[in-house]
Amino acid sequence: LQKLIHLLQATDDPLIQEQALITLSNSAAFSVNQDIIRNLDGLSVIGGMLSNCVPKVKEKALNALNNLSMNIKNQEEIQVFITQVCGTVESAPLNSDVQLAGLRLLTNMSVTNDYHQKMINSIPCFLHLLSEGTERTQIQVLKVLVNLSANPAMTRHLLRAQV
């Protein structure tokens, strides 16, 4: 895992970045690896890939963070990327793999109320995707909205959102 993280930092080759991210994402299926990746500063390295201009690399980084977000301690570190992930969801092509990967990560990050405030500005986007997206996109957006709606502090923001 350490070599993969170092490889991810050392290369500019999108194909190598994509494969390293896929491997890290698969490794994150095991909770012991989730802790190891966090302790090796892997979350910030993977999060850095969210700025990559290659859509496949960005998608794989979102998928890896999604798998890593199943761990509460990892969520505490991943939360610094929520605003960027929301921006990615908003700017990605409608119904794209990048958009869906971002929505999946936001779903996991919104299971608890801890990070809902970071998603408030994206509520109009979520509602737009609900009306314009394909069924796959709509289902993913609904999961985020259901999580947000379970928090009474979000009621005003959800009801006042301009669509």
In tens, the pLDDT along 2-51 reads 999 999 999 999 999 999 999 999 999 899 999 999 999 999 999 999 99
Instruction: Tell me how many domains the chain contains.
Output: 2
Which CATH number do you get for residue 20? Answer: 1.25.10.10
**Distance between CA 35 and CA 31 in Å, rounded?**
7
103-126 pLDDT tens trace: 999 999 999 999 999 999 999 999
**Distance between CA 69 and CA 86 in Å, rounded?**
16
Same domain, 83 and 157: yes
Structure tokens at 60: 């794989």
Give the domain extent around 29. Answer: 1-78
What's the residue count for the chain? 163
Same domain, 54 and 29: yes
**Distance between CA 51 and CA 61 in Å, rounded?**
10
Packing angle, helices 97-109 and 55-68, rounded to 10 = 20
pTM for this one? 0.96
Same domain, 90 and 157: yes
